[in-house]
Structure 1
Amino acid sequence: MPQLEVDGASLTYDDEGPRDGGGVPLVFVHGWTANRHRWDHQMAHFSEKRRVVRLDLRGHGESGVAGVRTIEELARDVLALLDHLKIERFVLVGHSMGGMISQLIALSHPDRVERMVLVDSISRMTYNRGRGLLMAASTLVPFNLFIAANIQRAFAPGYPREEVRRYIRASAATPREVVMTLYNAMRAFDVLDRVGEIRTPTLIVHGYHDIQLPVSQMLRMAKAFPDAEVRILDAGHELPVEKPAELTSTLDRFLTERS
């Protein structure tokens, strides 16, 4: 698999599909403690007809760590990769923290983002005092328990337990420093007052059973967007793997209707 050195970290990525025709390239950005394989179903489908890029974010999957600190830094990594690949204009698809990264890119480089899809993501994390205290307290428990609790609740009720355990193991392989630093970065993330500046046609897809980033918070974000469609699917927070075919079909329709 190809890698790119960016500020001391080796970023592992995939770049597949035809270079000509089929529209501008699709760029898939995964979420916290995940990796590029969250997008396996979408990669297989879309790369048949168009260029598709996905990467392991710094500190995740098969990419190096090298001092990840902020979501802004991750956004710069994505742009550095696209510059390296000479991709000037693209469609961004971001899941959870990847959606936060996508919003930052759309705000800083609106001329480069043709369309954007936010999957189970928000623009501002909002919680009452009780939940805020619970989230802060959760960082004090043993690391493996912290990971297990967060990943377990990311899936809708009824999702196969062995599959959930597999994702817990994969998330626990993410370095503790990366996990905790970006957990706090997501808690502090807030561009809600700026998303009205985003004129990029946007699709917001959210799991009805998402308790990590609840639908109510997503709707607050959607209301602030000047040009956004909303689709709610019967899933939890991990839509790319809980309902891969439905998500792919939803993306396909958005890309076709907007072309």
Structure 2
Amino acid sequence: MDGTTQAESTVELAPGYRTRVLDRGGGRVVVLLHGTPFDVRAWLPVVRAVDGRCRTVCFDARGHGSATDVPVAGYSRLADDVVALLDRLDLPDVHLVGHSWGGQTAQRVALEHPERVNRLSLICTRASPFPAFATVAQGLRDGTADPEASLSRWFTPEELAEPHGVAATVGSWLRAADRTRWADALEMISTFDDLAQLAGIAVPTDVVAAEDDGVAVPEHMAQIAEAVPAASSRVLEGARHLVPLQRPDEIADILLGRR
């Protein structure tokens, strides 16, 4: 599977779970797991930034994007979905990259299926509970939460003022997101607690924090880096939570081992 590919397809990874897969490029394989309530589009700036230097594969997790009709599942089931995709593409092991909620799934893959991961990159994610998201999830369910409230945490006032910028695009994604699926994922984040198990991850691991991230705060990302034996850490100065969208060139350099 070293040949160059450039394809979008719809595949069934489990009974009742059909999803969009983007497979682009050739060479070393990097599999990208998105956060919530996003989908494969959240990785496109990074995909473009690494174009020609590796093969990128990304897909819509359960409850997101093309798979909105599929209920969100637990982390072990989400990890099994990643393995099912690798099996379908005949990929024995890959460089696995997870952002935010996707970073938690990536942790589970590395712990439950270590033979399928040759390198791990955890970007702006958590390994211990974030209880405040349970309240946000309830607000999404009962209609009291503003789906665009996160924009002020993710973007500067200047970015928010740009009518056709990244913030405007993300705002449209949030308005269109399925609130039930989003709430399900936020509840998972609110109780996720793998920090004590991370010592079991043996592969080289990039831990990437954003200086101004209010959820995956740099102090917590430092705890993750300390827990993983073969981890290296980096804090992107002045960055916020959505670094794959806002700082794709820097993320690309990290994934390619250039930083």
TM-score interval (norm. to shorter): 0.7 to 0.9
Amino acid at match of 1:15: D
Superposition deviation, residue 157 in structure 1: 5.7
Q: Distance in 1 between matches of 2:144 and 2:57?
A: 31
Kept in 2: contact 1:117–1:203 (CA 8 A): yes
Compared CA separation, residues 144 and 39, structure 1 to 2 (3 A): farther
The equivalent residue for 2:171 is: 168
The equivalent residue for 1:226 is: 229
- Among 198, 209, 213, the residue aligned to 2:212: 209
2:123 is the counterpart of 1:119? yes
The equivalent residue for 1:84 is: 88
Superposition deviation, residue 241 in structure 1: 1.0
The equivalent residue for 2:5 is: none
Amino acid at match of 1:139: Q
Superposition deviation, residue 139 in structure 1: 2.6
2:15 is the counterpart of 1:15? no
Compared CA separation, residues 69 and 110, structure 1 to 2 (3 A): closer
Amino acid at match of 2:110: A
Q: Distance in 2 between matches of 1:138 and 1:146?
A: 11
Deviates most, 172-181 or 202-211 = 172-181
Superposition deviation, residue 75 in structure 1: 1.9
2:9 is the counterpart of 1:2? yes
The equivalent residue for 2:159 is: 159
2:74 is the counterpart of 1:70? yes
Kept in 2: contact 1:208–1:232 (CA 8 A): yes
- TM-score (structure 2 length as normaliser): 0.86
Amino acid at match of 1:73: R
Kept in 2: contact 1:155–1:235 (CA 8 A): no
Kept in 2: contact 1:114–1:201 (CA 8 A): yes
Superposition deviation, residue 65 in structure 1: 2.5
2:193 is the counterpart of 1:190? yes
Secondary structure of the 1:200 match is: coil
Q: Distance in 2 between matches of 1:172 and 1:85?
A: 33
Deviation string, structure 1 residues 156-192 (Cα, Å, up to 9, x no partner): 5643444324312202322222111111011111111
2:139 is the counterpart of 1:140? yes
Deviates most, 244-253 or 109-118 = 244-253
Amino acid at match of 2:18: S
Stretches of structure 2 lacking an aligned partner (at least 5 in a row): 1-7
- Among 38, 41, 44, the residue aligned to 1:37: 41
Superposition deviation, residue 138 in structure 1: 6.6
Compared CA separation, residues 110 and 69, structure 1 to 2 (3 A): closer
Deviation string, structure 1 residues 58-106 (Cα, Å, up to 9, x no partner): 2212234222232332222222111111111100011001110100000
Compared CA separation, residues 187 and 137, structure 1 to 2 (3 A): closer
Amino acid at match of 2:217: P
Compared CA separation, residues 72 and 158, structure 1 to 2 (3 A): farther
* Aligned residue-pair number: 246
Stretches of structure 1 lacking an aligned partner (at least 5 in a row): none
Secondary structure of the 1:74 match is: helix
Secondary structure of the 1:205 match is: strand
Q: Distance in 1 between matches of 2:145 and 2:167?
A: 14
Calculate the aligned-residue CA RMSD, in Å. Answer: 2.2
Q: Distance in 2 between matches of 1:138 and 1:251?
A: 32
The equivalent residue for 2:4 is: none
